[in-house]
């Protein structure tokens, strides 16, 4: 009997897992995909909101491409209980699916704070395609939009909201913007840039309630005047979709962030059940500590590693590296690794006249984190961004270069080359083999 793989969740992790299984074994096994939504990429929803792509562009699989992969797709259905002893998943409609091995990749959802009025009309999250459609319908030229939360998710849709002709105010409970993506010095630079570009910011603002007021939304705060808005977008964080595992034998972390505890093969405590992406608490590349990294690159790598292991390979995962990049009003902001670390040796450079900031963090000769900020059109901003990842990823010894990098944190390239980082990187692959071209659903290819 062919092996029965069950993939729960059709996001980045699930789709990468399926593609990798097929790359490894040419269709010999059975694959069932259970997904609440038709597979699409959440990463590109901001571009749909900004009208630079059509809705058809967001899909990562079509009925035809799933059929070509010989995937039995159960779309619009959600997992409701996992019986690991009998290797059976129960769906929300009561149907049961048996498996030999299974992947938990149910991702996360937008989380709203418990706030009076947060479920009223004109108040949206921006996480799913359906939520994106609602925001698209609501944000019109001249709309007054208030975004609650100044984190990465909020910033990914900032350009799109402005491009729709709306005015934007961002309110944040923390004393500064981007509290989990960049340090305070960088946040200050970004804040000034945004204000210069017509975005209103209100930090250290505790929202107390939202109410309807003459057809608009009225937001009240602990301190200061209320704000009026046509549309409110709650970008107040995400929560992993794991409640459906309550009562199962799968061990989850009780630490903040939770997540299914996985080993270096991304197996849970039940060995034929894997977890990947936003729901997996896997190894951090730099520290080895198990953490949830709810970012696209981690979901992608997790998914591929699980796919290879399900197909019978023995692939150990080194771990994931936190990385984020976002462009706001033509300013690039990015960070890598342990960018905030009280034990690290830190070199910074600030060129306020060019809105440039650079921060490098070292442990001994090893680069362990970086923050990058600068105008997107400025070649000095973007020239070496990837190289910083290469240096962090290889952990190459930069001792001889520290004096130079301390003086010139923007001049990373000679250090990268002379430490032979290219040569160190070349043999490295996630799956121990060259990657294949992605197989693309035809309907997505043709516009």
Q: Per rule CB under 8 A, is residue 437 in the interface with another protein?
A: yes
The nearer residue to another protein, 53 or 118, going by C-beta atoms, is: 53
* Half-sphere exposure for 237 (CA within 13 Å, toward CB): 11
Whether 113 contacts 17, CB under 8 Å: no
Whether 106 contacts 244, CB under 8 Å: yes
Only segment of 89-97, 215-223, 228-236, 421-429 that touches another protein (CB under 8 A): 421-429
> Which residue in this structure is represented by tokens 């190459």?
396
Per-residue binding letters, 17-36, with another protein (x by CB under 8 A): --------------------
What are the φ and ψ backbone dihedral angles of 351, each rounded to 5 degrees? -125, 85
**Other residues' Cβ atoms within 10 Å of the Cβ of residue 112:** 17
What are the φ and ψ backbone dihedral angles of 63, each rounded to 5 degrees? -55, -40
- Cβ burial of 346 (10 Å; 0-12, 13-18, 19+) is middle
The nearer residue to another protein, 204 or 385, going by C-beta atoms, is: 385
Residue from 24, 393, 398, 409 in contact with another protein (CB under 8 A): 393
Q: Per rule CB under 8 A, is residue 12 in the interface with another protein?
A: yes
> Which residue in this structure is represented by tokens 């963090």?
361
Residue from 38, 57, 109, 366 in contact with another protein (CB under 8 A): 57
Q: Nearest distance from residue 305's CB to another protein, in Å? A: 12
Only segment of 180-188, 260-268, 277-285, 414-422 that touches another protein (CB under 8 A): 414-422
Residue from 102, 105, 401, 409 in contact with another protein (CB under 8 A): 401
Q: Per rule CB under 8 A, is residue 434 in the interface with another protein?
A: yes
Q: Angle at Cα 96 formed by Cα 93 and Cα 100, nearest 5°?
A: 145
Only segment of 104-112, 262-270, 299-307, 308-316 that touches another protein (CB under 8 A): 299-307
Nearest one of 397, 398, 396, 401 to 428, comparing CA atoms: 396
**Alpha-carbon dihedral of residues 172, 134, 219, 120, nearest 10 degrees?**
-130
Q: How far is CA 81 from CA 89, 251, 320, in A?
A: 6, 14, 29
- Specify which residues 337 forms β-bridges with: 369
The nearer residue to another protein, 249 or 439, going by C-beta atoms, is: 439
Q: Per rule CB under 8 A, is residue 129 in the interface with another protein?
A: no
Q: Per rule CB under 8 A, is residue 433 in the interface with another protein?
A: yes
Q: Per rule CB under 8 A, is residue 193 in the interface with another protein?
A: no
Only segment of 237-245, 307-315, 354-362, 395-403 that touches another protein (CB under 8 A): 395-403
Q: Nearest distance from residue 105's CB to another protein, in Å? A: 15
The nearer residue to another protein, 89 or 158, going by C-beta atoms, is: 158
Residue from 60, 84, 169, 240 in contact with another protein (CB under 8 A): 60
- Containing H/E element for 34? strand 30-35
Residue from 37, 43, 340, 341 in contact with another protein (CB under 8 A): 43
Token couple for 255: 């630490």
Q: Nearest distance from residue 353's CB to another protein, in Å? A: 20
Residue from 26, 140, 206, 429 in contact with another protein (CB under 8 A): 429
Per-residue binding letters, 301-320, with another protein (x by CB under 8 A): x--x----------------
Q: Which strands make up the sheet holding 79-83, listed edge to edge?
A: 79-83, 88-91, 96-98
Q: How far is CA 366 from CA 289, 410, 419, in A?
A: 18, 17, 12
Q: Which positions from 332 through 391 interact with another protein, judged by CB under 8 A? A: 332, 334, 336, 376-377, 379, 382-390
Residue from 47, 99, 274, 362 in contact with another protein (CB under 8 A): 47
Q: Nearest distance from residue 320's CB to another protein, in Å? A: 12
The nearer residue to another protein, 33 or 58, going by C-beta atoms, is: 58
> Which residue in this structure is represented by tokens 């007021």?
213
* Residue 309, phi-psi category: left (phi > 0), alpha (psi -120 to 50), beta (remainder): alpha
Q: Per rule CB under 8 A, is residue 62 in the interface with another protein?
A: no
Q: Per rule CB under 8 A, is residue 404 in the interface with another protein?
A: yes
The full 3-state SS of 80-148, as one line of letters, equals EEEECCCCEEEECCCCEEECCEEEECCCEEECCCCCECCCCCCEEECCCHHHHHHHHHHCCCCCEEEEE
Q: Which residues bind another protein (CB under 8 A)?
A: 12, 41, 43-44, 46-47, 52-53, 57-58, 60, 296-297, 300-301, 304, 323-325, 327, 330, 332, 334, 336, 376-377, 379, 382-390, 393-394, 400-401, 403-404, 407, 413-414, 416-423, 425-430, 433-440, 444-445, 447
């Amino acid at each position: 009997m062919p092996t029965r793989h069950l993939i729960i969740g059709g996001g980045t992790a699930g789709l990468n897992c399926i593609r990798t299984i097929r790359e490894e074994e040419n269709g010999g096994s059975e694959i069932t995909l259970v997904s609440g939504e038709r597979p699409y990429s959440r990463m590109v929803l901001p571009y749909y909101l900004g009208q630079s792509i059509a809705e058809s562009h967001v899909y990562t699989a079509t009925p035809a491409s799933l059929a070509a992969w010989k995937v039995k797709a159960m779309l619009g259905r959600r997992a409701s209980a996992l019986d690991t002893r009998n290797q059976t998943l129960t769906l929300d409609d009561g149907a049961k699916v048996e498996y030999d091995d299974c992947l938990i990749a149910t991702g996360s959802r937008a989380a709203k704070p418990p706030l009076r009025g947060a479920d009223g009309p004109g108040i949206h999250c921006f996480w799913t395609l359906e939520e994106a459609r609602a925001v698209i319908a609501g944000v019109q030229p001249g709309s007054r939009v208030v975004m609650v939360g100044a984190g990465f998710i909020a910033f990914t849709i900032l350009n799109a909201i402005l491009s729709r002709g709306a005015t934007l105010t961002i309110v944040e409970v923390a004393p500064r913007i981007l509290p989990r993506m960049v340090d305070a010095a960088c946040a200050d630079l970004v804040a000034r840039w945004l204000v210069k570009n017509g975005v209103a910011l209100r930090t250290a603002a505790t929202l107390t309630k939202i109410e309807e007021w003459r057809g608009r939304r009225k937001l009240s705060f602990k301190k200061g005047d209320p704000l009026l808005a046509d549309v409110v977008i709650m970008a107040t964080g995400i929560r992993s979709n794991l409640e459906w595992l309550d009562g199962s034998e799968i061990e989850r972390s009780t630490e903040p962030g939770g997540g299914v505890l996985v080993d270096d093969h991304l197996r849970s405590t039940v060995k034929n059940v894997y977890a990947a992406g936003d729901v997996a608490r896997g190894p951090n590349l730099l520290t080895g500590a198990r953490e949830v990294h709810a970012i696209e690159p981690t979901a992608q790598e997790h998914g591929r590693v699980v796919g290879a292991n399900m197909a019978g390979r023995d692939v150990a995962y080194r771990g994931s590296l936190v990385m984020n990049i976002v462009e706001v009003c033509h300013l690039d902001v990015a960070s890598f690794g342990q960018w905030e670390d009280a034990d690290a040796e830190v070199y910074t450079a600030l060129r306020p006249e060019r809105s440039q900031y650079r921060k490098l963090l070292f442990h001994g000769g090893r680069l362990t984190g970086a923050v990058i900020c600068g105008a997107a059109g400025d070649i000095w901003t973007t020239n070496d961004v990837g190289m910083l990842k290469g240096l962090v990823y290889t952990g190459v010894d930069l001792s001889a270069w520290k004096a130079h990098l301390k003086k010139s944190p923007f001049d990373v390239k000679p250090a990268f080359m002379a430490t032979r980082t290219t040569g160190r990187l070349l043999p490295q692959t996630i799956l121990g083999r060259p990657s294949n071209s992605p197989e693309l659903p035809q309907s997505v290819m043709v516009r």
